Amino acid sequence: MKKIMVAKYEMTHLRNGLRICVRKDLKLWTRILIASLFAVVALLATNGLIGNWGWLVAVIVAIGVFAGVRGSVAELRATNVEFVAKGNFGRQGSRITRIVCTGDVRRLEFRDVAGQNSGLYAVTTRSSQFILPFIDYGEAMEIIRAIEARFPGLAEAWHAEAPSPVHTSILRGLF
């Protein structure tokens, strides 16, 4: 299956935190196809009403749709108090804001499970909160390292709660 979107992210250091913005742009051919479909519909709808001027309306609609259809954007603002995630999480076009208190976070992790949204998750004692979509494993690790470097106190708490490799290997041997 070919990808119809290309994702890129940028990280900005703020006075009291980090801002990670991920943009998943539609590929050029997809934008052209969508604009063309809207132009055809506009032409068919206006041709009977305004006659030969319908093509002009279709061109204007195509230009407007081409300029307006970009893709999806998500943003994560990380501070020492909270993670605020805004953007398209899941359904196309739905804008959601999620706030996760850093005191509740046990670790950050990348997930790419079939049937779920892939991206960065904040794991708490009760659940996992999806906080940044459209990134791959390497980008997630870069973002996690940047957050840990910016907030070393959080990183220490996360690593202190993580099970040690010795305990993990012992548990694997028992089951």
- Domain ranges across the chain: 5-26+70-174
The predicted structure's pLDDT at residue 91: 54
User: How large is the average pLDDT for residues 59-68?
Assistant: 88
pTM of the model: 0.69
- Over residues 82-87, the mean pLDDT reads 91
Distances in Å between the Cα of 114 and the Cα atoms of 17, 38, 43, 63, 119 are: 32, 33, 41, 36, 12
* Coil/strand/helix, residue 89: coil
pLDDT digits (tens, 9 = 90+) for 99-147: 999 888 999 999 887 767 788 999 988 888 888 888 888 899 999 999 9
Query: Which residues are CB-contacts of 5 (< 8 A; sequence separation ≥ 6)?
Result: 24, 25, 26, 27, 30, 71, 72
Considering only CA atoms, which of 153, 151, 146 is closest in space to residue 132? Answer: 146
Thinking of the domain 5-26+70-174, which architecture would CATH place it in?
A: Roll (2.30)
